[in-house]
Structure 1
Amino acid sequence: MVWMTAAEALNVLQVRPQTLYANVSRGKIRAKSDEADPRRSLYHRDDILRMARRSNGRRKIEAVSAQAMQWGDPVLPSAISTAAGGHLLYRGHDAVTLSETATLEEIADLLWEAEPGQVLAASTSPACTQPAIAPPAGALGAGLLALALRSASDAPSMDRSAADLRAEAASILATLTEAMIGPAPAGRATARTDADDTADTDTCATAAAASAPPATPATISRRLSLAWQRPASEDLLRRALVLMADHELNASTFATRVAISTGASLAAGVLAGFTTLTGPLHGGASAEFALLAAAAREHGAEAAVATWRASGRALPGFGHMLYAQGDPRARALMKLLPELQPHTDLAAAAEAQAGELPNIDFALTLLAAAHGLPDDAPFILFALGRCVGWLAHALEQVQARRPIRPRARYVGPSAGTC
């Protein structure tokens, strides 16, 4: 069984009920309502067994700190975002609610504490233009190269005004966007509607367009829809970008803050975060899910999930320790998407075998499949959306003016034994 009753959990843990409930409230043990009796809760077996393996009694401060570094309470104070009560909040605003209408640039204004419209207005400024480089294969390589070039020349982040840093943040977001999806459309094409794309371009219309005031710069979601030739998908792309903008102190965000804490440039901080996306446990989860989906098509979803779990690897696209009742970002996107195979069968198998619900990585792959987006679309949406959060944390970390420097708990040989 994937889920345990309270009595079973307490029997395994040998703790008081208050301790069990406290660990649930801290996000260390996932819980859900018992379908047979909504007044009762069930507790995730894997979380209970992991807690049971910990040593009994009062733990030393080193052990507490070590667990926090791996998965636990936040290690840094931040006013940017938090997961609380099954919701993701951006500076106190529900991210799902914001995704219904906001653009990624508007979320950047919120998280960077900029004036409304400042990020979109700055997105095509001359400061965003970078020297032309030979693009490497794929969005990942292009992003790494563009950020590395800026990191080699941009000024350190220390001792600079907030306004200066926010302007630089906007240019870095533009640099990464251009590297991964190409340059913004020129002139009035940035604000064209779907109707414009099919309109007659007679001489009078051309003359009127030439004399009209400059159009508003295209949002990143608009640029993606044009680059992928999917104009009807723009609203869903906008929602996905907003939902990906930030997520507390995840691995990439922590890497960004560590780099910035040394005084490194904003570009260097974003590069540090971006490199973590190459790992299958973070930004590479969508590529891992593609492998799981391929196995499901060949052998069936139940067998694919069982084989994957038997290998000891984390099941890509499913489960999140911060959301006992399921990832709200995934629900917000999935309710707007059709059911597809093998996604539907994989979701059923993952819940039945592991008690795990779809997370945002699953939802991004479903979005890509449903709208015929490129294979690397989930990764691009993750990276461009999260770049806004990395920069928000970079701006916040600059204010701390001290390096992040955890201590190591040495477990190697003693002196004289080598």
Structure 2
Amino acid sequence: MSSRTAPFSAFEWMIAWRYLRARRAEGGVSVMTWISVIGIALAVFALIATMAVRAGFRAEFVSTLLGANAHVTVYSSGQVDESGRMQRGFTDYAEIAGRIADVPGVIRAAPLIRGQVMATANGVNAGVEVHGTSAADLAGLPSVVDGADDIGDLSRFEEGIAIGSGISRDLNLAVGDRIRLISPDGVKTAFGTSPRVNAYEVVYVFTTGSPEIDRTRVYLPFAEAQSFFNREGRADEIEVMVDDPENVERFEMPLLQAGGPTAMIWSWRDGAGSFLRALTVEDNMMFILMSILVLIAAMNIISGLVMLVKNKGRDIGILRTMGLTEGSILRIFFLCGAVTGIIGTLVGIVLGCAFSIWFTPIFDFVNWAAGGGVWDPEVRPIYHLSAVLHWQDVAAAAGLALTLSFIVTIFPARRAARMNPVEALRYE
């Protein structure tokens, strides 16, 4: 009759559940069960929370990169002019920008002048990177024009200059003040090249979300930048935005064809690829390290089951003499450990998801309790830390916890199944 018993029958579940609800006389077993549940729950919670924070950091970093920087930069390898000098950039930049804008998936193609100069104001100097662009193209940068902390009037951009909030703070500048830009490559005279010094009114102060950009980036009107950097009739490069920057590789060949025979490209992944790869390696290592916590928590299940098997030796002997097979005994104690792992995993998932969803207010409270300064944007490339919950991370954490819980449960369950009923009842 026992041979016809289906695995995990109702009576096996009933016996396992009674063993998990240990009576007061067997309080040690129930305490170990609770310790196992809490250990698994905390380990799964820590794993999900860690992966969510790591994903949030990666998302914030990529968003910062894509917000104010070109997804793809199209530039020229150069060509020799009539005097035999190598000229870089595009003379037909408007035509090339138009062809690039017609490439499917391209949402913005803007000619750009780029140069590094010294900025000075109020007796303070700072090195800055100048981007020369038109007012219409500048308005196409969401992180520059849509910042909550932006001040000034962007409609007056052609009358002055737009600077980052970090430059404004370092040079003690406000909207309406004047800033001087000094370039060593200025006016060419018979005695050599003299530095060029121009003063501009600050008409707009932007905050992109990247401390590095906000402390180094200024925008000049395109025509003024051409004159300042001696680029009359040319553009240094074409700044391109696409609708799918995560898969920017698929735009490379169409952009090269649209850019012409001398065109070359540089994508945001080329600039940040090493950092992104480092983040991926750190994510994998973090998952492995946090998995060790799950393994340690799962080992508590073994302790609880070993105590349970020892305390239930008499019951095992009686059940065996009643006709239960080794398989039934194994499944009963396997269920005891598996249910513990399942409950702990479910509790950990709930805690981890709740922590990730409400991470911002929790982090703000911790920052307030610590007196501020928990996250320093001067050290890291983003202003704010966030958490992004991916179902793949939740599934990986749950799968790992359940797998380890089931595996470690097998060993004490097999010990119980192989217990000799005669030896178990000899001294009863």
TM-score by length of 1: 0.22
Higher relative contact order (CA 8 A, sep 6+): 2
Q: Please identify which structure carries the higher strand content.
A: 2
Structure 1 or 2, whichever has the larger Rg, is: 2
